[in-house]
Amino acid sequence: MITVRHLSKAFGAHRVLDDVSLEIRRGEVVCIIGASGSGKSTFLRCINGLESYDLGELIVDGYVVRKENRDIHAHRGQVGMVFQRFNLFPHRTSLENVMEGPIYVNGVPRATARAEAVALLTKVGLGDKLDAYPASLSGGQQQRVAIARSLAMKPKVMLFDEPTSALDPELVGDVLKVMQQLAKDGMTMVVVTHEMGFAREVADRVLFLDDGRILEQGPPEEVLRTPKHERTRDFLQRVIHAL
Amino acid sequence: MADALEFLPILLQGCWTTVVVALCALTLSTVLGFAWALLRLSPSPWLRRPTIGFITVIRGIPIIVQLFYIYFVFPDIGITLSAFQAGFIGLGLAYSAYQAENFRAGIEAVDPGQIEAAQSLGMGYGRIMRRVILPQAIRTALPPYGNTMIMLLKDSSIASTITVSELTREGQLIASSTFKNMTVFTLVALLYLTMSLPLTYLTHRLEKRYGRK
């Protein structure tokens, strides 16, 4: 589904991504962990063309992704992205947020879009918040609306950029539950996260990114329990102590 | 008092011209200001730089001089305008520079995350502008827009200097022929105040509604 070959990117002298190669299968759930500044977010943003890269190749479902492409919009519409800070449209209700993409990008008739949006919001547990504006929702609720908004586009892949990092601890669970269900339904997911519990339970594979390189990857048990590299061990220790 | 009643009809006629000049100038400045704001935020330096230059020039020249220029100098290069036309075009151009900065501030105040969210839904530039940025930018830009309307209404008096027969000009004409300065200019002042009060109220309402989130 996603093929990455020798992807590199630098901001000035700083190499954010350094020769990253990777293959993600359809339906696979990949969690990316690593310290801040290790290139996790940049990598994620390259996949839907929000960020450009200098060298290498990135192919999603046969499409060569480049931010500069004229038809990059069409690609973005097929790749869902969930942001750390939700980024819901504050001037629109939950329902309108979810209907926005299908109506104005995919040209779905309003009635159909509405029915699908109601179904999606119900699925993420917000069937009673259809007409609420984002400002009146908790962070966890906002993030679930954001997930529904992305799903409404019927994406091939869902990208999550630290989806629970801006949430109060007691709200994290609801969001993770929705993501876990999504994984069960067979969605291809790339998740940048610090939630090691989620990575252990849901991920098919965990990548440890360090200074723009994939230092280690494998099944969660292996990477999280018995990491091979010193730096992975250090990182995991620090994250677990922080909790 | 008798004087006041005698002058009032002429002054009211001046008020009407003031309102028309101000409205025409407001419309022109809004349309142009919006266009400048979009050009100024364009990623292309070929669009951005000339716009910044234009705004800088307009903002650096007194409105009265701009009006003189349009009314007295333009005929020399083959553009002859009536006093009324020169008045509202001059005011409209001058104010478009202020409006541009106002709109730009509104657009720039929109969280960049909003644009990324819209992009990740597959929206292009035009749709992001219409559906996501502008509805939010308007909230930021509206209260200062109200203030601009009040300033423009008052500054329309500058058009009197190029013989547009608006309120100030009518006042001057009556005063210079009757020497009733006190009566005339008190009336003129009160009439401006009367016209600006509804706008002040409107601005106050806008500030309350959109000023703080």
Q: Tokens for A79, please give them.
A: 């790749």
A10 φ/ψ angles, rounded to the nearest 5 degrees: -130, 140
Judged by CB atoms closer than 8 Å, whether chains meet at B131 and A80 is answered as no
ipTM of the complex: 0.92
Residue A238 has pLDDT above 90, yes or no: no
- Does A81 contact B at CB distance below 8 Å? yes
Q: What is the 3-state secondary structure (H, E, C) of chain A?
A: CEEEEEEEEEECCEEEEEEEEEEECCCCEEEEECCCCCCHHHHHHHHCCCCCCCEEEEEECCEECCCCCCCHHHHHHCEEEECCCCCCCCCCCHHHHHHHHHHHCCCCCHHHHHHHHHHHHHHCCCCCCCCCCHHHCCHHHHHHHHHHHHHCCCCCEEEEECCCCCCCHHHHHHHHHHHHHHHHCCCEEEEECCCHHHHHHHCCEEEEEECCEEEEEECHHHHHHCCCCHHHHHHHHHHHHHC
Residues 6+ apart with CB under 8 A from B162: B67, B68, B71, B72, B83, B86, B87, B90
Give how far Cα A204 sits from Cα of A180, A188, A226, Å.
12, 11, 16
B71 φ/ψ angles, rounded to the nearest 5 degrees: -80, -40
- β-strand A205-210 against A213-218: which pairing, if any? antiparallel
Residue A14 has pLDDT above 50, yes or no: yes
CA-nearest residue to B125 within chain A is A73
Judged by CB atoms closer than 8 Å, whether chains meet at B121 and A89 is answered as no
Judged by CB atoms closer than 8 Å, whether chains meet at B127 and A50 is answered as no
Residue B143 has pLDDT above 60, yes or no: yes
pLDDT for position B211: 58
| B101 vs A236: CA distance, rounded Å | 49
Give the one of A85, A105, A150 whose C-beta lies nearest to B123's C-beta: A105
Judged by CB atoms closer than 8 Å, whether chains meet at B121 and A74 is answered as no
Token pair 């061990």 is at which residue? A233
Judged by CB atoms closer than 8 Å, whether chains meet at A77 and B122 is answered as yes
Residues 6+ apart with CB under 8 A from B154: B192, B196
For B180-200, how does the pLDDT look when each residue is reduced to its tens digit (9 = 90+)? 999 999 999 999 999 999 999
In this prediction, residue B213 has a pLDDT band, given cuts at 50, 70 and 90, of: very low
For A163-188, how does the pLDDT look when each residue is reduced to its tens digit (9 = 90+)? 999 999 899 999 999 999 999 999 99
pLDDT for position A36: 86
Contacts of B118 in chain A (CB under 8 A): 89
Distance from CA of B132 to the nearest CA of A (A): 7
Query: pTM, whole model, 2 decimals?
Result: 0.85
Give the one of B116, B121, B139 whose C-beta lies nearest to A153's C-beta: B121
The pairs formed by A48-53 with CB atoms below 8 angstroms and a separation of 24 or more are A48/A75, A48/A76, A48/A79, A48/A81, A48/A159, A48/B120, A49/A75, A49/A76, A50/A76, A50/A81, A50/B116, A50/B119, A50/B120, A51/A9, A52/A9, A53/A7, A53/A8, A53/A9, A53/A17
For A218-227, how does the pLDDT look when each residue is reduced to its tens digit (9 = 90+)? 999 999 988 9
- Does A150 contact B at CB distance below 8 Å? yes
Q: Tokens for A166, please give them.
A: 């801006």
Helices (H), B41-133: 45-60, 63-68, 83-108, 112-120, 125-128
C-alpha B17: how far from its chain's center?
A: 15
DSSP state, residue B74: G
| B213 vs B209: CA distance, rounded Å | 9
Give the one of A83, A146, A153 whose C-beta lies nearest to B122's C-beta: A153
B107 φ/ψ angles, rounded to the nearest 5 degrees: -70, -40
Judged by CB atoms closer than 8 Å, whether chains meet at B121 and A100 is answered as yes
C-alpha B54: how far from its chain's center?
A: 17
Distance from CA of B113 to the nearest CA of A (A): 6
- Ramachandran area for residue B30 (φ above 0: left; ψ -120 to 50: alpha; else beta): alpha
**Percentage with pLDDT > 70 across chain A:** 99
Q: Quick one: A225 exposed, middle or buried, by C-beta within 10 A (0-12, 13-18, 19+)?
A: exposed
Distance from CA of B131 to the nearest CA of A (A): 9
Which of A114-118, B111-115, B136-140, B172-176 is predicted with the least confidence, judged by mean pLDDT? B136-140
Distance from CA of A231 to the nearest CA of B (A): 32
Residues 6+ apart with CB under 8 A from B147: B203
The Cβ of residue A178 has, within 10 Å, a number of other Cβ atoms equal to 21
For B51-69, how does the pLDDT look when each residue is reduced to its tens digit (9 = 90+)? 999 999 999 999 999 999 9
Distance from CA of B191 to the nearest CA of A (A): 39
